[in-house]
Amino acid sequence: MSSLRPGRGLLYRSGITHHIEPDGLALMSSRLGIRTVFDLRNDGELERDGVAPFHLHGITHRRLALRGITAMTAEARREYFKKMARRDYDWCIHYQELVSRYPDSFVGFLRTLLEPGVLPALFHCAGGRDRTGVAAALVLATLGVSDEVIAGDYARTGALLQPHLHRYNPVRVAMGLSEQQMSDLLHTDADSMLRFLAWLGREEGIQALPARQGLTHEETAQLRAVLLEEG
């Protein structure tokens, strides 16, 4: 009996992309076949870091901005980062707030995956863990992937970001953090995502959130048809 699993090479969750050099962009296009980059950063982040020249490699850059902590005052933002670095910040609550405040943005992302010619696609925010991690969780949950597998995928993020710690130096310095504090801030554990998914199941139901924002049963079925393969 065959089973279905998420298709390979269709959707990539990524960290920051503005620093990618021409050779890397060429590989994104030629080897991975990336057609679209979905950018979840807000206006302040985009202004600070800019955008890689995706268009020179036939890749479309699409904004799906989510507002975030750059709307805070500079002092409040520094305190926010320090709290995160101390690991006394509850990421689960943050993710609950994200989907509660911007459900249409996350469900809009699901819907864009059905547009002709957008796949294969890559999506990212400023780091690749939080907004991007929630978006990935909603996609995988819609496809029927278990909470444990989703949380395991999410938990890998911190270890994958650590080798790129130097790329966060501008933010680290601006926030008054040491290298160790920045490293601690990037620590990622499965429990935060597991608790978020449990909350989502209790409060909304995995399918109820997209449905409440207008995603139809037909569109959900189309997503599964596009993003799942036999394996």
* Contact criterion met (CB below 8 Å) for 112 and 125: no
Token pair in block for residue 99 = 């989907």
Residue among 103, 125, 112 at smallest CA distance from 42: 125
62 or 106, which is more confident: 62
Distance CA 66, CA 40 (A): 6
Identify the DSSP state of 82: H
The CA distance from 63 to 79, in Å, is 28
Q: Give the distance, in angstroms, between the CA of residue 207 and the centroid of all CA atoms in the same chain.
A: 19
pLDDT, tens digit, 9 for 90 and up, residues 29-51: 999 999 999 999 988 888 888 99
Decide: helix, strand or coil at residue 28. helix
For residue 2, pLDDT over 60 is answered with no
Would you state the structure tokens that stand for residue 71, as one six-digit string? 């709307």
> Which tens digits make up the pLDDT trace of 213-224?
778 889 989 999
Cα–Cα distances in Å, from 150 out to 90, 183, 194? 18, 23, 8
Quote the DSSP letter at residue 7.
Answer: P
Could you tell me the two tokens for 52? 């890689």
Tokens of 189: 């554990």
pLDDT score, position 43: 83
* Length of the chain (residues): 231
Q: Are strands 11-14 and 36-39 parallel, antiparallel or unpaired?
A: unpaired
Name, in order, each residue with C-beta under 8 angstroms of 105's C-beta and a sequence gap of 6 or more: 64, 65, 66
Please answer whether residues 5 and 144 qualify as being in contact, where contact means their C-beta atoms are separated by less than 8 angstroms.
no
pLDDT of residue 69: 47
How many domains does one find in the chain? Answer: 1
Which pLDDT belongs to residue 1?
Answer: 42
* Model pLDDT, residue 211: 66
Round the average pLDDT of the chain to a whole number and report it.
87
pLDDT tens-digit map of 164-221? 888 888 888 888 888 998 888 888 999 999 999 999 887 665 556 776 777 888 998 9
Task: Give the domain extent around 143.
Answer: 4-230
CATH number at residue 179: 3.90.190.10
